[in-house]
Chains A and B, each alone.
Chain A
Amino acid sequence: MFYRQAGVHHSNYKTDSALFPIPFDKWSIYTMLALGIFAPAIFGSFALTSYLLPWMIWAGAALSLNLLIGWAGQFHFGYAAVMSIGGYTAIHATLAGIPFEIALILAGLMSMVVGVIFGAAAMRVKGLYLALATLAMQFVVDWVLTHVPAIGGGASATLQAPDMTLLGFKITSEVGYYYVAFGWLLLVTLFLLNMRRTGFGRALVAVREKDYAASILGVNSFYFKSVAFAVSSFMGGVSGAILVFCFYHAVTPEQFTVNVSIQLLAMVIVGGLGSIIGSYFGAAFILLLPGALNTLVAYVSELLGLQIGIETLAHLPNLFYGILIIGFLLYEPLGLAKVYDNIRKYLMVWPFGYSKR
């Protein structure tokens, strides 16, 4: 009922290939964009820094990983390592006096180089073996960070992030950090929205569906897999740098352990493989739900006057959280994006049913 499509027509290919041809979609995007831009004015400082900011950063990281898993179909169990390379590179570069903008690019490039080196080695194998090979990257990078003082600053050291100056502006406020993260997320989103329909995006999908079938069609699957690793690692590296500079303001190896890699993977899978909005949902789900569940469980137990031990109370949210994830994978294996898509389609054809043929 919201999706009105009558009268939408084009007399040139430029408007015909607009990203959002349906007016309602377009207006929802504008609304979300406006919400994003005016968020600092709408939300309080607490909500901004503890919910929105991390959500933006992790959504950006999830999108970068989604390119590799969702579009190119290549598993990566060590994505936190990719991000850590970006984070460390950016800090070292800015400490060495390199401007932040260039440091960000350096961060991306460094992640890309390391990512591709590991990727190229890993791509000699496929599927689960590839996943294990990337997991190896996680441990190698972890080891390097803790054991090479020149990079990690010594065992369990913390490197403070210096002040950041972006395009001539000194960024020190929460709002400033928010906008940097928001800007990066916008860039990544726009890139993916457009990538989907380029030859590159379609080649990735072909490789994902069946790499040797793609090869038969003339798509060099090794080349595209490598490019996917490179692009995704570059974006992951920048996301890592943004995470370090805008959120943690410091970097330690503990921020990028294997747990983080698994969480990122969960964001992508729960959100929906190969879906942009899905990565937003996935990041929100994995990041924000545990906190929300904590509050909810505490509230309910108080409301009902339940005498629950503090220990149990701490574990109950984890239980529900697990149940939710299992439930989602069981009933909607295509993720939150599919749930959204179902609702959208239900309304799109309203009041008719889905066409069965």
Chain B
Amino acid sequence: MTQQVKMAEGTALRQADFSNDTTVVGLLARNAKEIGSQVAVKEKDFGIWQEYTWQDYLDNSIYFAAGLEVLGFQAEEALLLIGDNRPDLYFGTVGVSALRGSPMPAYPDANPQEVLSFAHESRVRYAFVEDQEQVDKLLDLREEIGTLEYIIYSDPRGLAAYSAPGLVSYAEVIEKGQQAIQANPALYDDLVTRAQPSDAAIFVHSSGTTGKPKGVILKHRNVLAGVRNGFQGGSLEKNEVIMGYLPMAWIGDYAFTVAAGIALQWQLCIPEQQETLLRDMREIAPTFYLAAPRSWDNMLTNIQVGMQDAPRFKKAVYHYFMDLGFKVEKKRFEGQAPSLWERINRVVGEFFVYGPIKDAMGLSRIRTAYTGGEAMGEDTFLFYRSLGVALRQLYGQTESSAFNSTQSKDEVRLHTAGKPLPGVIVKIDESGELLLKSESNFEGYYENEKATVETLVDGWLHTGDAGYLEEDGHIVVLGRLSEVVYTAKGERFIPNYIENRIKFSPYVKDVAVLGRDRDELCAMVCIDIDAVGNWAELQGISYISYADLSQKPTVYDLVRDAIAHVNETLPEPLQIKRFSNLHKEFDPDDGEITRTRKLRRKVVEERYTDVIEALYSDKKEVTVKAQITYDTGETGTIERNLSIREV
């Protein structure tokens, strides 16, 4: 590997019509003035898409800010936000930043400890939550948090009888805000202009694959610099239609749905519930779609499961055109042009297979599709490319406002993450770590001097990712620096890379590849209950639970085939030799994966020591004892026999 290139910088293709020397609120006010009557936000509710114009967006945000101020909210304070995507919560996010406070979103399924650590960290006095479930969660924790004064809720259902002090509905806050502004009309403009570019726009947390999440405050000028870089580099377009479904606590949600959404005047469509996303997405057919590889994999699994049920003729047509699509994309990969026959077939296939599938998934209007957050399996990537979805890789970090580099539309390269955006400089240091310099970089972890010093050196952000630059400036990200693993024989490999390839199989939901300081590679597999369950149904195999299904010999055959298929493409020392199906899925509540579903390798390796030891012995079976904590607080243990299988 020649690593001649040590530094790369992006070049601007065009100029953005905004600078980063402004605020998100300011840009929202610009939209309200320019296109105030156009629809900015849509939410599916009561069976139809309820609409909010840009003017509504601004009004709600400012009223919320004014109302919050009436309640005593101070500048530079944090507002804890918990809930699924709701217009109210987005209005609140922008509203708080208008008050020069920082919105601090947490995952809606966060467990009490996580919420507690967030709340303690910034001594929150105000929380804005979605519904009764979250209100209950906070009321339970209220004493432990200590500082919490007000809990604002968006959905009043089930809360009528609550009499806890400080419990206020969103509608009341808005009303207070309206009254304050009626009494003092100048307050409206004051709130629009009060926040400065150097004030906090969002307070997020790094995903924490390696430890406790660290607080990251991004300022208006950071996030807007990111958006500007993206626009100038041709990675983001104006006037897209997007789905607001990403977890609000992930930087990707703020960077795309709020910052880019407002700066580039995108229409935000919010599904009724997380569960109805697929159907709602089909109704909207967004033009822009960003998803973690996990979600793309999920969608692929849906398609594959659907095809399992299809009659033979449909299957034959599907496979003919999908195989062809794969072949053409592979050729493009290698830089060859498809033959005339293949091009004709692609057009026919668009009508018979690609088009209908895109239609069923709501992808038919996609102009811009990104995968980001972690590496994607090659087959998944090829699958969408052959459907005609111009899927691209995006590389970014929480600490740098999510936008660093993207591939351009016609680049079908799987292993790179594209060129740096204009305004971003990428450097590789001696240890092979990727360093970033950009206006979108943050200015230090929240109250964590030690981590800040380690991460930010002379304005260079140490990403913790191993990688290199290709000669034409493309970034190649190999994986987390801490995750590059050597076997006992000195073979260097990145478990994540192999895992993603295995996960292409619809039957595999999660997999942990092991092999650090061992002679060979083994794997622990979590089957996908939907796909395998459906398969079992078709085969007439009965099962009682996840654990039971996962241990069926025929299911082992399925998984073995999936792994063997991946092994074919791997060099001999990196082939997986043995595996075991686990009795449960990895669960963020157990700390095995993060809320964005990244594997916490350390935790997994510790928790499944027995299984790992057995995998590297010649046992055929291993008994695991798992301790479970019930909702009541009682604990119990379950014992399971897990089989071990050679590939």
Same complex for A and B? Answer: yes
* A positions within 8 Å CB-CB of B: 1, 4-13, 16, 349-356
- Distance of A287 from chain B, by nearest CB (Å): 34
Is the beta-carbon distance between B362 and A6 smaller than 8 angstroms? yes
Residues from chain A with a CB closer than 8 A to the CB of B360 are 5-6, 349, 352
Residues from chain A with a CB closer than 8 A to the CB of B566 are none
- Distance of B41 from chain A, by nearest CB (Å): 11
Residues from chain B with a CB closer than 8 A to the CB of A8 are 283
Is the beta-carbon distance between A350 and B314 smaller than 8 angstroms? yes
B186 at the A interface (CB under 8 A): no
CA distance A354 to B314 in the complex (A): 11
B375 at the A interface (CB under 8 A): no
Is the beta-carbon distance between B306 and A353 smaller than 8 angstroms? yes
Using A9-B284, A11-B48, A350-B314 as known contacts, say yes or no to A4 and B309 having CB atoms under 8 A apart. Answer: no
Is the beta-carbon distance between B48 and A13 smaller than 8 angstroms? yes
Best-buried of A4, A9, A355, A356 by chain B (most CB within 10 Å): A9
Residues from chain A with a CB closer than 8 A to the CB of B49 are 9-11
Is the beta-carbon distance between A5 and B309 smaller than 8 angstroms? no
B357 at the A interface (CB under 8 A): yes
| Stretch from B337-345, B347-355, B448-456, B463-471 at the A interface | B347-355
B294 at the A interface (CB under 8 A): no
Pick the contact of A351: B282, B352, B361 (CB < 8 A): B352
Pick the contact of B365: A5, A7, A351 (CB < 8 A): A7
- Distance of B365 from chain A, by nearest CB (Å): 6
Contact residues of B between 230 and 287, Cβ < 8 Å to A: 282-285
Best-buried of A8, A9, A12, A351 by chain B (most CB within 10 Å): A351
Best-buried of A6, A10, A11 by chain B (most CB within 10 Å): A6
Pick the contact of A6: B48, B352, B365 (CB < 8 A): B365
Is the beta-carbon distance between B48 and A352 smaller than 8 angstroms? no
- Distance of A348 from chain B, by nearest CB (Å): 10
CA distance A329 to B646 in the complex (A): 56
- Distance of A84 from chain B, by nearest CB (Å): 47
Scoring B residues 362 to 374 as 1 if CB is less than 8 Å from chain A, else 0, what string do you get? 1111000000000
- Distance of A193 from chain B, by nearest CB (Å): 21
Residues from chain B with a CB closer than 8 A to the CB of A354 are 309
Shortest beta-carbon contacts, A-B, top 9: A7-B285, A353-B310, A9-B283, A353-B309, A6-B285, A352-B306, A11-B49, A6-B364, A6-B359
CA distance A297 to B171 in the complex (A): 77
- Distance of A73 from chain B, by nearest CB (Å): 30
Residues from chain B with a CB closer than 8 A to the CB of A349 are 360
Question: Chain B: how many interface residues by the 8 Å CB criterion?
Answer: 33
Is the beta-carbon distance between B359 and A5 smaller than 8 angstroms? yes
Contact residues of B between 17 and 53, Cβ < 8 Å to A: 39, 42, 47-51
- Distance of B47 from chain A, by nearest CB (Å): 7
Residues from chain A with a CB closer than 8 A to the CB of B47 are 13, 16
Using A7-B284, A7-B364, A11-B42 as known contacts, say yes or no to A351 and B51 having CB atoms under 8 A apart. Answer: no
CA distance A1 to B365 in the complex (A): 16
List the A residue with the shortest CB-CB distance to B538. A356
B318 at the A interface (CB under 8 A): yes
CA distance A354 to B306 in the complex (A): 9
CA distance A351 to B353 in the complex (A): 7
Contact residues of B between 420 and 479, Cβ < 8 Å to A: none
B317 at the A interface (CB under 8 A): yes
Is the beta-carbon distance between A5 and B314 smaller than 8 angstroms? no
Residues from chain A with a CB closer than 8 A to the CB of B357 are 351
- Distance of B119 from chain A, by nearest CB (Å): 38
List the A residue with the shortest CB-CB distance to B322. A351
Is the beta-carbon distance between B42 and A351 smaller than 8 angstroms? no
Is the beta-carbon distance between B48 and A10 smaller than 8 angstroms? yes
B70 at the A interface (CB under 8 A): no
CA distance A274 to B47 in the complex (A): 27
Residues from chain B with a CB closer than 8 A to the CB of A12 are 48
- Distance of B45 from chain A, by nearest CB (Å): 11
10 new A-B contacts at CB < 8 Å, known A6-B285, A6-B358:
A5-B360, A6-B282, A6-B283, A6-B361, A6-B364, A7-B283, A11-B51, A351-B307, A355-B306, A355-B309
- Distance of B149 from chain A, by nearest CB (Å): 38
Residues from chain B with a CB closer than 8 A to the CB of A352 are 306-307, 309-310, 314, 360
B636 at the A interface (CB under 8 A): no
List the A residue with the shortest CB-CB distance to B305. A352
Is the beta-carbon distance between B283 and A351 smaller than 8 angstroms? no
Is the beta-carbon distance between B358 and A16 smaller than 8 angstroms? no
CA distance A1 to B357 in the complex (A): 9
CA distance A9 to B47 in the complex (A): 10
Is the beta-carbon distance between B309 and A351 smaller than 8 angstroms? no
Scoring B residues 307 to 341 as 1 if CB is less than 8 Å from chain A, else 0, what string do you get? 10111001001100000000000000000000000
Using A11-B51, A353-B309 as known contacts, say yes or no to A5 and B282 having CB atoms under 8 A apart. Answer: yes
Residues from chain A with a CB closer than 8 A to the CB of B388 are none
CA distance A350 to B355 in the complex (A): 10
List the A residue with the shortest CB-CB distance to B241. A7
CA distance A35 to B306 in the complex (A): 37
- Distance of B506 from chain A, by nearest CB (Å): 14
Is the beta-carbon distance between A351 and B359 smaller than 8 angstroms? no
- Distance of B536 from chain A, by nearest CB (Å): 13
B213 at the A interface (CB under 8 A): no
Task: Supply 10 A–B pairs (Cβ within 8 Å), ascending by A.
Answer: A1-B351, A7-B364, A8-B283, A10-B49, A11-B49, A16-B47, A351-B310, A351-B314, A351-B357, A353-B314
Is the beta-carbon distance between A11 and B50 smaller than 8 angstroms? yes
B356 at the A interface (CB under 8 A): yes
Is the beta-carbon distance between A350 and B306 smaller than 8 angstroms? no
Residues from chain A with a CB closer than 8 A to the CB of B307 are 351-353
Residues from chain A with a CB closer than 8 A to the CB of B309 are 352-356
Residues from chain B with a CB closer than 8 A to the CB of A351 are 307, 310, 314, 317-318, 352-353, 356-357
CA distance A13 to B364 in the complex (A): 25
Residues from chain A with a CB closer than 8 A to the CB of B318 are 351
CA distance A4 to B285 in the complex (A): 11
Is the beta-carbon distance between A4 and B355 smaller than 8 angstroms? yes
Is the beta-carbon distance between A4 and B359 smaller than 8 angstroms? yes
Best-buried of A7, A12, A13 by chain B (most CB within 10 Å): A7
- Distance of B186 from chain A, by nearest CB (Å): 35
Residues from chain A with a CB closer than 8 A to the CB of B365 are 6-7
CA distance A9 to B283 in the complex (A): 5
Scoring B residues 396 to 411 as 1 if CB is less than 8 Å from chain A, else 0, what string do you get? 0000000000000000
